[in-house]
C-alpha cells in the first residue's frame, strides 16, 4: 500500500509553512516523512528533496526560524501575478499558455543562473537523488512541455530543484543540456495527479490558485479519488495566511509562516491521520 506526499508551491513562506506543518504532524504521531512517494513542485520540490535526504524534521523546522540575514525579499506582488495571468490566460491550450509564460521568463532581467544555483545548492543537505521515489516538476520554457524529473532522468538534483523553483520573471530559467526550464507551478501549483496509483495521498498546498487553462487541484483530487485513493488536502488556514502575507518570497515572513504551519497541525491531525493510517 503506497502512501504519497504531495508538496505544492508557495515561495519561501510556503517552504516554511510546509516544514511547520510536517513537524507539527510528526509531533502528533502522523509521520508524513515516511511516504513511499514524494511529489514536489516549486517550493515543494525544495522541501521534498530535503525531506527525502533524511535530515531530521526538527532541524529543518528550526532552520526556518533563523533570522534572514543577507536575504532580500524578491518582488512577487500583484503586478507580477498579473503578468503571469496575462501571459498564460489568453489561450485555452495549456501547453501554448505555458510557452508564453516561458517566453516572458526568458526575456526577463534577473540575477545570473550561476548565482541562483549557488543559493539552491546551499539549501540542499545532499547533492544526490534519494533512494526514495522523488518526483520534481518543471516546464520547458520554450515549448511549454511539462517535465517530471526523478533519479532516472540523469539530471542533477540541484538543477531539477532549481528548475522547479524558477519563478518566471523573478529567477532565471535553468539550463539543463540544451533546454531551459521554469517553475513546475506554471503547469499546476500542486500537480497532485502525479500521485496516481497511490492508495493514500496527503497534499500540502500553500496555494491552490490556478488561472487560464491550468489543471485545477479540485479536478486532480477528484480523479485520484475516482481511482480509489484516499486523499486529504491541507492549505493554510486564516492565521497562516495572515502570517504568510502578500509576498510569498519575503524571507522576513518565514519564521511566522513556519510557526503558523506548526500551530495549524493541531486542527488537521485527525483528518490527515485518517488518510495516512
Distance from C-alpha of 136 to C-alpha of 128, rounded to nearest angstrom:
13
Span between the terminal Cα atoms of the chain, in Å: 11
Residue in 42, 45, 198, 235 annotated catalytic: 42
Question: C-alpha cell of 39?
Answer: 511529489
Handedness of CA 119, 27, 275, 234 (dihedral sign): negative
Contacts for 273 with CB less than 8 Å, ≥ 6 apart: 28, 29, 30
Q: Decide if 183 is catalytic.
A: yes
Contact 127, 156 (CB under 8 A): yes
Query: What are φ and ψ of residue 248, in 5° steps?
Result: -70, -5
Q: Decide if 199 is catalytic.
A: no
Residue in 60, 140, 159, 183 annotated catalytic: 183
Distance from C-alpha of 215 to C-alpha of 5, rounded to nearest angstrom:
19
Distance from C-alpha of 39 to C-alpha of 60, rounded to nearest angstrom:
18
SS (H, E, C) 38-65: EEECCHHHHHHHHHHCCCCHHHHHHHHC
Find the DSSP H helices in the chain.
11-27, 43-52, 57-64, 78-88, 94-107, 113-123, 157-164, 217-226, 238-244, 254-276
> How many residues comprise the chain?
277
- Angle (CA) 191-234-119 rounded to 5° is 60
Active centre residues (catalytic): 42, 183
Amino acid at each position: 500500500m503506497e502512501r504519497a506526499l504531495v508538496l505544492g508551491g508557495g515561495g519561501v513562506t510556503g517552504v516554511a509553512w510546509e516544514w511547520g506543518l510536517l513537524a507539527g504532524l510528526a509531533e502528533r504521531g502522523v509521520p508524513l516523512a515516511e511516504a513511499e512517494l514524494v511529489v514536489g513542485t516549486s517550493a515543494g520540490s525544495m522541501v521534498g528533496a530535503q525531506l527525502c535526504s533524511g535530515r531530521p524534521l526538527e532541524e529543518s523546522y528550526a532552520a526556518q526560524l533563523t533570522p534572514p540575514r543577507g536575504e532580500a525579499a524578491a518582488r512577487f506582488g500583484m503586478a507580477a501575478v498579473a503578468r503571469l495571468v496575462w501571459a498564460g490566460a489568453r489561450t485555452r491550450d495549456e501547453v501554448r499558455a505555458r510557452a508564453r509564460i516561458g517566453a516572458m521568463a526568458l526575456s526577463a532581467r534577473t540575477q545570473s543562473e550561476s548565482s541562483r544555483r549557488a543559493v539552491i545548492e546551499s539549501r540542499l543537505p545532499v547533492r544526490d537523488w534519494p533512494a526514495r521515489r522523488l518526483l520534481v516538476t518543471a516546464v520547458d520554457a520554450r515549448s511549454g512541455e511539462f517535465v517530471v524529473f526523478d533519479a532516472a532522468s540523469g539530471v542533477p538534483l540541484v538543477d531539477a530543484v532549481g528548475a522547479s523553483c524558477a519563478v518566471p520573471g523573478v529567477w532565471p530559467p535553468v539550463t539543463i543540456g540544451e533546454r531551459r526550464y521554469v517553475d513546475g507551478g506554471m503547469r499546476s501549483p500542486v500537480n497532485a495527479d502525479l500521485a496516481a496509483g497511490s492508495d493514500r495521498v496527503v497534499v500540502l498546498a500553500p496555494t491552490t490558485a490556478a488561472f487560464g487553462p491550468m489543471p485545477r487541484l479540485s479536478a486532480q483530487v477528484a480523479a485520484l479519488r475516482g481511482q480509489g485513493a484516499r486523499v486529504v488536502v491541507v492549505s493554510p488556514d486564516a492565521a497562516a495566511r495572515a502570517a504568510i502575507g502578500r509576498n510569498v518570497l519575503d524571507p522576513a515572513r518565514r519564521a511566522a509562516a513556519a510557526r503558523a504551519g506548526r500551530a495549524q497541525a493541531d486542527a488537521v491531525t485527525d483528518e490527515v491521520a485518517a488518510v495516512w493510517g
